[in-house]
Structure 1
Amino acid sequence: MHFHGYEWTGDGRLLAKESERRPVDGGGFRLSELPPLMTGWWLLKPPAQIRGTWAAPADAADWLVKRYEEHTPGGEPRLPTEARRQQALDQLADSSDVVWSRWVSDSRWSGHYVIACPNRTWPDIPCPAGA
């Protein structure tokens, strides 16, 4: 097993475009950079959308911390970064996907996603990187 990292930051109002967030015919899902409604569906996106691939949960968690801190200066005061990182490590070690996302302004959304591959919820989805 390994992990793929994805991210999306943009106008949060675009998240209402559900046809681009579901893998249905004619919905524009594969070409859309919007995050899918189900985490494992990231694996259906083109490989160019992968922001990193890691074999070790710690490396994937470190990427989450770095990206999250870049988009969320000062972190989340209710959950310190190290506690958040440890929680991500536990989830990744359990082959679970991890999502760190939040509103960073009135209309701006920032999301960072680490997806287990192969995915235990969506085992029939092949690795987008061919691994």
Structure 2
Amino acid sequence: MHFHGYEWAGDGRLLVKESERRPVEGGGFRLSELPPMMTGWWLLRPPAQIRGTWTTAVDAVDWLAKRYEEHTPGGDPWLPIEARRLRAVEQLAGASDVMWSRWVSDSRWSGQYVIVCPNKIWPDIPCPATLASKQ
């Protein structure tokens, strides 16, 4: 088991473009940079969208926390970063994906995602990094 990191920040109003967020024929999903509707679907995206790969949950969460703090200055007042980090390590160690996202202004959305690979919810989706190395 390993972990891939992804992120997207932009105009949150674009999130309504569901055809780009679902793997349907002709919807533009593969080339879209919008976050998929399901976390495991990130693994269907081109390997170029991977922002990092780690073999330990702690390393993946270190990246997640750094990116979250860069996009969300001051963090989340309702959930301190250390509590968030501890829970994320537990989730990843239990083979569950982690998504930290929030509105950072009236229209700006920021999301950071760490996806377990292979993914227990989507076991038929191959590792995108493995596919890239075979090309």
Scaled by the length of structure 2, what TM-score is found? 0.96
Q: Which amino acid aligns with 1:51?
A: R
Query: What is the match of residue 105 of structure 1?
Result: 105
* Cα distance between partner residues in 1 of 2:76 and 2:84: 9
Q: Which runs of 5+ in 2 are unaligned?
A: none
Distance in 2 separating the partners of 1:31 and 1:78: 35
Do structure 1's residue 58 and structure 2's residue 58 form an aligned pair?
Answer: yes
Distance 2:103 2:7 in 1: 14
Deviation of 1:77 (Å)? 1.1
Please say if 1:73 is aligned against 2:69.
no
* Number of residue pairs aligned between Structure 1 and Structure 2: 131
| Identity score, percent | 79
Correspondences of 1:1-131 after superposition (within 5 Å): 1-130=1-130
Give 4+ residue runs of structure 1 displaced > 3 Å after superposition. none
- Name stretches of at least 5 consecutive residues in structure 1 with no aligned partner: none
Q: Over aligned residue pairs, what C-alpha RMSD do you find?
A: 0.7
Q: TM-score under structure 1 normalisation?
A: 0.99
